[in-house]
């Protein structure tokens, strides 16, 4: 069994409140969960209006499949968010 972990950071330049940030995050997390069936959680920058650090986890019997899912998710994020993907890392355990 392989656990794939992807940690990524997003910048929302137009967000001017925590409420607006939460709105953008909720929409993004719903789209990702529906399309890729991964678990998501905000792990840092809780009190910042324009930044979010999120962890996504995928469990699979094959590391190749988990890696493919997380890479496809990152490509989806790059082109489908109301902000900018600042950084990401993927690790298999």
The length of the chain is 93
How many domains are there within the chain?
1
How deeply is 26 buried, as exposed, middle or buried, from its count of CB atoms within 10 A (0-12, 13-18, 19+)?
exposed
pLDDT tens string 58-91:
999 999 999 999 999 999 999 888 889 999 999 9
**Strands (DSSP E) along 1-93, which ranges?**
2-11, 39-44, 51-60, 84-92
Distance from C-alpha of 45 to C-alpha of 64, rounded to nearest angstrom: 31
Task: Report the predicted TM-score, pTM, of the whole model to 2 decimal places.
Answer: 0.89
Range of the domain at 50: 2-92
DSSP letter (8 states) at residue 6:
E
CATH code at 86?
3.30.70.1120
């Amino acid at each position: 069994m392989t656990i794939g972990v992807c940690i990524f950071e997003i910048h929302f330049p137009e967000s001017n409140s925590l409420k607006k940030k939460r709105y953008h995050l909720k929409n993004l997390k719903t789209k990702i969960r529906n399309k890729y069936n991964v678990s998501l959680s905000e792990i840092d920058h809780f009190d910042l209006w324009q930044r979010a650090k999120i962890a996504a986890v995928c469990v699979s019997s094959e590391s190749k499949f988990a890696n493919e899912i997380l890479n496809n998710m990152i490509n989806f994020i790059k082109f489908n968010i109301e902000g900018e993907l600042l950084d990401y890392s993927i690790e298999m355990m």
